[in-house]
Structure 1
Amino acid sequence: MRRTSRLIPFSFVILLLGLLLLILQVPSTFGHTLGSSCQTPEKSEGRCVHFSSCRLVLRHYAMYKEHMPPVIMRFLQRARCKPKNEGYHLCCELKDVIPANANSKLK
């Protein structure tokens, strides 16, 4: 049986690095702990999670790949909920939070 490798596509890595660089440049109000409640830029109830645990980010990547529209990039920047030295966490709407046990499928 042939075994296939599950490598992350290079363009996805580049997109995430670009997103991270943009997020680093935006000052924001922090103070949430991982998994704490927060309010999304659209004023919805959310959870402060690592960006890779938010379906919204994955949907936008699937749709736009490395050509993410500036309006979406700005939205993601406004969704920051932790300081940059604690990783890249976004306030993700509750319906879009990927459970921790499902994360292993993304790696």
Structure 2
Amino acid sequence: MRRTSRLIPFGFVILALAVLLPLLPSAFGHTLGSSCQTPEKTEGRCVHFSSCRLVLRHYAMYKEHMPPVIMRFLQRARCKPKNQGYHLCCELKDVIPANANSKLK
């Protein structure tokens, strides 16, 4: 009995990778965002707001009554369009690792 192999056309593999690769970060949870510069000109990472200790501290302190100066700072820190969720440039020391529990309290 002769075994025949079925080869997948190379173009199909490239197309599948182009479609699937952008979906992988969301499939595997939070990933470390891209490099960015905070409004204070320090190195940071573009992460979802719930992965930034600075935001969680401010929220814990002020709840929904955040002072306008803090709100303006957070608006200047945005690093992705609104339609991709609220991502901001978070200082490296404040980025919460992906495996940590980062629920708002």
TM range (shorter): 0.5 to 0.7
**Structure 1 residue 61 displacement after superposition:** 0.9
Unpaired stretches in structure 2, ≥5 consecutive residues: none
Q: Deviations over 1:38-89 (max 9, x none)?
A: 0000000000000000000000011112210000000000000001111110
Q: Secondary structure at the match of 1:57?
A: helix
Stretch of structure 1 that moved more, 30-39 or 10-19: 10-19
Q: Partner of 1:75 in structure 2?
A: 73
CA separation of 1:13/1:32 partners in 2, compared to 1, >3 Å: closer, same or farther?
same
Unpaired stretches in structure 1, ≥5 consecutive residues: none
Task: Report the RMSD for the aligned CA atoms in angstroms.
Answer: 16.3
**Structure 1 residue 103 displacement after superposition:** 3.2
CA separation of 1:81/1:92 partners in 2, compared to 1, >3 Å: closer, same or farther?
same
The runs of 4+ residues in structure 1 deviating greater than 3 Å are 1-24, 27-34, 103-107
Q: Deviations over 1:1-40 (max 9, x none)?
A: 999999999999999999999999xx99999996000000
- Distance (Å, rounded) in 1 between the aligned partners of 2:90 and 2:38: 7
Answer whether contact 1:39 1:91 (CA < 8 A) is retained.
yes
Aligned residues: percent identity? 91
- Distance (Å, rounded) in 1 between the aligned partners of 2:6 and 2:59: 18
TM-score by length of 1: 0.64
Answer whether contact 1:51 1:90 (CA < 8 A) is retained.
yes
CA separation of 1:7/1:65 partners in 2, compared to 1, >3 Å: closer, same or farther?
farther
TM-score by length of 2: 0.66
Q: Secondary structure at the match of 1:5?
A: coil
> Which of 59, 81, 84 is residue 61 of structure 1 equivalent to?
59
Asked which structure has the greater CA Rg, the reply is: 2
CA separation of 1:44/1:95 partners in 2, compared to 1, >3 Å: closer, same or farther?
same
Instruction: Count residues with an aligned counterpart.
Output: 105
